[in-house]
Amino acid sequence: MIHRIPTTLASAAVILLAAAMLAAPATLRGQGGGHAHPASAEPAPRLGEIAFPTSASPAAHAAFVRGVLLLHNFHYGPAAAAFREAQQIEPGDVMSYWGEALTYTHPVWNEQDTAAARAVLARLAPTREARLAKARTPRERAWLETVEILYGGDTPKAARDTAYSAALARLHADQPGDVEAASFYALSLLGLNQGDRDVPTYQRAYALADSLFRAHPRHPGAAHYLIHAVDDPEHAPLGLPAARAYSGIAPSAGHALHMTSHIFVAMGMWDDVVRANEESLASSKRAVGHSAQWLVYGLLQQGRRREAVRWLDSMAVEAASPAPRVRSDSRYHLAVTVPAYVADTRQGDTPVLRLMGDTMTARGLWPAYPDVGRALAAIERGDRVAADSFVARLARFRAENAGLRASTLGLVEVMEKTLRAMLLRDAGERERAVALLRDAAAQEAALPMDFGPPATIKPPREVAGEVLLAMGRPAEARTELNLALARTPGRGAVLLALARTEKALGNRDAAARHYAHLAANWHRADADWPHLAEARAGAAGARP
C-alpha cells in the first residue's frame, strides 16, 4: 500500500470520517484563558485537551479551541467549519482566520491548497499589513504572521514551508512554555522534506513531541506528531506508548483511531492493526480511505482472506458513490489494496482484480498500481505475455511522468524491476533474477522509508530470498530474508520463507521460532489459508 495520497484525497477521507460526529459545538476541557463554555445538548466529542488562550469572547473561543483540536487530529474539514463558526461569532478574531487558513496545509501528506488559504486570509483583510494590524495582542500577531509566511509571496512551496517552520521555531524560542507553539513547530518539521521521511529532521520532531507528550499526556497533537515521527520499523518502538494512548486521548476522531496502527504495522502487531482500523471505520460507517486499506492488509497478515474480500467489496461499493471525493478516494485505495491482496494470496485468477479500474490517466503515483496487481496475477497464472505487457506499461508510466518526485518514480522502478526479475525466475534465468532483485533492493533501501505496509507491494529482498531458497542456497536466502524482515516486521511471506530456510540449514529451533511467530499471527486464519498446517506443525517442532 502506498501512502503518497493525491491532493484532496487524504483530506477527503478524514472529512468523511469526521463530519457527522464532529460538526456540532461541544463542551471541551482544558482550554485555558479563563473562558466559560456553554453547555451543549449534544454529547461532547472527545478530541483531547489543550490550553490555547486568546482574546476572543468565550463563545468564539470555544469554537476556536474545537477547531484547533480537530486540526491536531487532522480532521481538516470539520476544523475549518469550527473556525468559520468562531468568525461568525466574532469577526474580528484573527486567530480563527489563522486556524482556518492552516486547515489547507497538510505537511505529512505534502498537500497545500494555497489559493484556498489565501482566500481565507483575504476575508480578514485585503493585505498582509491590514491583517496583522487587526491582531489584538503581540502573541496573536506572531501566530498570524506564521501563516502569512506560509502562504505569502511567489516562492515555491518548499521554500515557504521552510520559512514557516523557521517562524514557528522563533515563536517556540520566544515562548518555550507555549505548548501550541511547540506542537505546531514539531508538525512543520515533518513537512520540511515535502512528504518524504528525512530521519534527522523526523528525530528532531520526535524529541519535541515526546517532551510534550510526557508533560501533557492528553494533548492530541503531542501523541499524533510523535507517532508520525517514528512510524518506521527502526524507530517504531519509541512510539508505542503514544500509540497505546492516542485512541483514548481522541476517541471521537476517526483518524486518531487509525493513527495508532502506524506504529502497530511498523512492529508487525497484526491484532492491534486490525482492531485499530475496525474502530476507525466503525466511527465513519463507511469503507473508505486509509483505514480500509490498512485493515485489509492486516487481515491478510492474519490469514483472514474471506474477511479481506468482504472489505474489498465494500470499498468497491464506495468507489461507485455519486459523491466525487468518496468515489475518487475509494478508487485510489482499491488501486493500492488489490495488488497487495494478490501478492499475499498469490491468486492469479482472483475475482477481486475486477475491482480495479484503469487509472493510467490519473495523476500521481497511484495509477501505476493496477498494473502492478495485474502483472503479479499474470505471473501467478503463468501468463508471460500479459505480465510483459503490464510491466511495459510501468516503464511507459515512468517515461510519461518524468516530472514526478524522484522518490515516486523510484518506487515505480523498484516494482518494475521486481516484476521483471520474477519473469526471469520463471524463465529459468534465476541468476539474472537474483542480480536484478538485489539491484532493486538497494534502490529501495536508498529511497525515503515510507510508513505502513510495503510501498513496493512485493518487496524485492523478499523475492530474492524465496528465489535463493529455491536455488538451494539457503545461507544467502537467510541474509536477504533477515533484511526483508527488518524492513517489514512480522510479514507472513517473509516469516514462512525464513522458517523454511532455517529448516533447510538444519536449524530446527530457529525454524520452529519462525513457524511459531507465523502460527501466532494466523491464530484467526481461515481454515484453508495456505501453509497454515505447515506453520502449526513447524511451531510444534522446537526442542523442549
Element (H, E) at 272: helix 270-284
The per-residue pLDDT for 285 is: 80
Residues 6 or more apart in contact with residue 224 via CB below 8 angstroms:
72, 73, 74, 246, 256, 259
Pair 252, 27: CB distance under 8 Å: no
The per-residue pLDDT for 390 is: 96
Q: Which of 268, 211, 334, 245 is nearest to 488 (CA)?
A: 268
The per-residue pLDDT for 10 is: 38
Q: Rounded to an integer, what distance in angstroms lies between the CA atom of residue 25 and that of residue 317? A: 32
Q: Rounded to an integer, what distance in angstroms lies between the CA atom of residue 226 and that of residue 221? A: 8
Residues 6 or more apart in contact with residue 431 via CB below 8 angstroms:
none
CA 320-326-328 angle, 5° bins: 75
pLDDT at 23 over 70: no
Q: What is the pLDDT of residues 398-440, one digit of tens each?
A: 999 998 889 999 999 999 999 999 999 999 999 999 999 999 9
What does DSSP assign to residue 48? Answer: -
Q: What is the pLDDT of residues 267-286, one digit of tens each?
A: 999 999 999 999 999 998 87
Q: What is the pLDDT of residues 30-61, one digit of tens each?
A: 333 333 233 334 567 899 999 999 999 999 99
pLDDT at 123 over 90: yes
